[in-house]
Amino acid sequence: MVDSFGCMRQGMRALLTLGMLIGSLVGCGYTLVGAPSGTPGRRLPLNILPLTNQTREPDLERLTTAALRYAIVRSQMFVYTADETSATRLQGTIRRFYSYPLALNSQDVAVEYRIDAAIYIRLIEATTQRPIFEQEISSSAVYQVSQSSTDKVREDVAAREAALAQLAQQFANKCLALLAITLL
């Protein structure tokens, strides 16, 4: 008799857990913070054209375009559209890129670098080709170079690539915030 009561208790517990799970899923709703009222769950479509690179830093346009597209995909306000059907298009140009030492060691060898980029963005209404918004966004990152004598080149390249990715992500975050302010 105790065994059947224990089995019944486990069954009730499983049923209660299942009921709570279904209830939370059915009752779950979300609203977009900062989205226009009256359009719950509606995200604004945005087409992001590949950025152009006017600097000598190779592959910077690919990194920044990818970071921006990824930020848009993860955004709750926008939806990335790869086709030309979007009402708004974002285009951009990387105008300046600087890399310079920030810190030197006792032998006057650079141990820390800073990279800066200036990226001009332009939001265009697709039907009229009229600019809605134009802005230059500055981004920067700092990285340290290796002090070891073994595998120094590989470590320095990895640190620079990580800093470039950080710079691209910082640009994407700033751009996303400006777009949200402009369009919402």
pLDDT at 154: 87
Please tell me whether residues 21 and 102 are part of one structural domain.
no
More confident residue, 18 or 180: 180
Please tell me whether residues 136 and 156 are part of one structural domain.
yes
**DSSP state letters, 27-96:** H-----TTPPTT-TT--EEEEEPPPEE-SS-TTHHHHHHHHHHHHHHH-SSEEE--STT-SEEEEEEEEE
pLDDT tier, 116 (very low <50, low <70, confident <90, very high otherwise):
very high
- Structural domain that includes position 22: 1-30
Please tell me whether residues 91 and 79 are part of one structural domain.
yes
More confident residue, 64 or 152: 64
Please tell me whether residues 21 and 83 are part of one structural domain.
no
Please tell me whether residues 82 and 96 are part of one structural domain.
yes
Whether the predicted pLDDT of 184 surpasses 80: no
For residue 180, the 8-state DSSP code is: H
Please tell me whether residues 51 and 99 are part of one structural domain.
yes
For residue 148, which amino acid is it?
S
Please tell me whether residues 125 and 142 are part of one structural domain.
yes
Spatial neighbors of 131 by CB under 8 A, at least 6 apart, are: 122, 123, 124, 125
Give pLDDT tens digits for 130-139.
999 999 999 9
* Residue found by looking up tokens 């009222």 in the block: 37
Whether the predicted pLDDT of 55 surpasses 90: yes
Whether the predicted pLDDT of 29 surpasses 70: no
CATH number, residue 53: 3.30.160.150
